Structure 1
Amino acid sequence: MAHTKAEKVKNAKPVRDAQTTQSVILAVAEEEFAQHGFRGTRTEAIAAKTEVSKSMIYYYFKDKEGLYQAVLEQSHADLLETVDKLELEHLSPEIALKKFLKALLDCVSRNPKLPTIMFYEAVQNQGKYYKRSSSVNIDTTLVQILEQGVATGVFRQLDPFQSAINIMGTCLFYFIGVGNIQQFPQGKRLLSKAMLEQHAQEAIALILAGVRQS
């Protein structure tokens, strides 16, 4: 039987040290925030599932807001590190865009709860915590790639900001809408490795075709 990320972390060590305890809390909190959003998540539920007292959670993360902000940072850490290593500023705009999209989709495939957490962040909090997080750098990077592509004539005359919004929607709605999409016969195995790879290929091809000069 497959185990959740939280269960794997929770069972990692028979005796928890501080780092393991924080990892367990973050893993369970991520699942709760993905399911209920910031407003609907109860710290008591996280404490019960982690077998850690509420006071201990607050010892590590100060309060519910601190825990939520930590989850946002951790959820984006993989993507931020991957994108940073690509050194996109040294690549042509089209190659940079392709590598950025591949990194984005690979990272989200490894953590499919991330888009849902960000959806709740937009709906419930109007981006209050998003703007404080390093995840803003991801969207800024995409806009900069598009700006460079337009400036050098590689991409058509598009609005980089509006196009970045549409590109993110193309990549991430797949994960946000999984519950609805799975109702179609073709969507039964939406999060399987094969389907995730197909989604990445289709999304990247569609986006590149849309931004190129005709």
Structure 2
Amino acid sequence: MGKSLYSQIGSLQNDLNATVGSTENTQPSSKVNRVTRDAEVTKQQILDAAVIEFAKNGLFGARTDAIAKSAGVAPRMIYYYFQSKEGLYQAVLEQPASEFQQMLEQMNLEELPAIEALQVFLRTVIAYEISHRYQGMLLFQEANQNQGKYFQQTNWSQPLTYVTKILEKGMQEGTFCKQDPYMTTLTIAGICVFYANAYENLKHLTPDVELLSDEMIERYTQAAINLVLNGVLA
């Protein structure tokens, strides 16, 4: 189950990152689609390179020429698409929140019983974080260097709201015990992101274990689900 959902996360993100436009038969339309597609690909290449550079060095230490070189584009393209280094940094912070929000919307969690929705959410977040390990480093840099100045302009509150609503629904159904839904949400968020965020340190504690193998990811995911359910079930 874990492996199939892990693949599903990749599939959903590929859909979200899919280039705009389809291959119509008319020549003018095809040309417009190709131009749009090329622009979207270039922007994504810049964002992919930027998240690593910002994660390692933060906003202040990151270099746009290093981002451009890694992305395989001319430095001027960064300013063409994002206006400034700060504009690119803001886009990098916003992208995962937007991607994750769209993935959750596609899963229609509100249609599931609370206990099932919570399990799907946990698996989704853990899989996403493991496949985007630089995100944790990036958010740490944002907190450390900017005290959340740019983070507060993102829509990261929306994914957290999903968990809170699931918990409130479970309490209304009588499935979950009465609790502070917001504080429980923060606790769940911490459990979901820890494995990916701490991987570079954890790997030295168990050098003979491949922590990012499908087996170990599933073991952690199931342990997280068990822990959370034991804490919230009535």
Tell me if TM exceeds 0.5.
yes
Matched-pair contact (CA < 8 Å) for 2:114–2:167: yes
CA offset at residue 188 of structure 1?
Answer: 4.3
**Corresponding residue number in structure 2 for 1:75:** 96
CA distance in 1, matches of 2:174, 2:207: 39
Equivalent of residue 49 in structure 1, options 66, 70, 79: 70
Equivalent of residue 39 in structure 1, options 39, 42, 60: 60
CA offset at residue 187 of structure 1?
Answer: 7.0
CA distance in 1, matches of 2:180, 2:207: 34
Q: CA RMSD in A?
A: 2.1
CA gap of 1:181–1:161, structure 2 versus 1, over 3 A, is same
CA offset at residue 211 of structure 1?
Answer: 0.9
CA distance in 1, matches of 2:130, 2:60: 25
CA gap of 1:158–1:187, structure 2 versus 1, over 3 A, is farther
CA offset at residue 209 of structure 1?
Answer: 1.1
Q: What amino acid is aligned across from residue 135 of structure 2 in structure 1?
A: L
Q: Which structure 2 segments of 5+ residues have no match?
A: 1-36
**Corresponding residue number in structure 1 for 2:212:** 191
TM-score by length of 2: 0.76
Runs of 4+ in 1 over 4 A off after TM superposition: none
Could you report, residue by residue, the CA deviation over 1:24-67 in whole angstroms, capped at 9, with x for unpaired residues? 21111011122223333222321232343333211110111211
SS in 2 for 1:156: coil
Could you report, residue by residue, the CA deviation over 1:62-114 in whole angstroms, capped at 9, with x for unpaired residues? 11121122222332344222210121222222111111111112222222222
TM-score by length of 1: 0.82
CA distance in 1, matches of 2:192, 2:207: 18
CA gap of 1:153–1:201, structure 2 versus 1, over 3 A, is same
CA offset at residue 143 of structure 1?
Answer: 1.5
**Corresponding residue number in structure 2 for 1:116:** 137
SS in 2 for 1:157: coil
Does 1:179 pair with 2:193? Answer: no
CA distance in 1, matches of 2:73, 2:97: 25
Identity, in percent, stands at 39
CA offset at residue 207 of structure 1?
Answer: 0.8
**Corresponding residue number in structure 2 for 1:142:** 163
Query: Number of residue pairs matched?
Result: 198
Equivalent of residue 172 in structure 2, options 151, 159, 183: 151
Matched-pair contact (CA < 8 Å) for 1:189–1:195: yes
Does 1:168 pair with 2:189? Answer: yes
Q: Which has the bigger relative contact order, CA under 8 A and spacing at least 6? A: 2
CA distance in 2, matches of 1:158, 1:40: 42
CA offset at residue 206 of structure 1?
Answer: 0.9
CA distance in 1, matches of 2:164, 2:143: 19
CA distance in 2, matches of 1:179, 1:212: 33
Matched-pair contact (CA < 8 Å) for 1:119–1:176: no
SS in 2 for 1:183: helix
**Corresponding residue number in structure 1 for 2:153:** 132
Could you report, residue by residue, the CA deviation over 1:177-212 in whole angstroms, capped at 9, with x for unpaired residues? 112211112674222222222211111111111111
Matched-pair contact (CA < 8 Å) for 1:182–1:190: yes
Does 1:203 pair with 2:224? Answer: yes
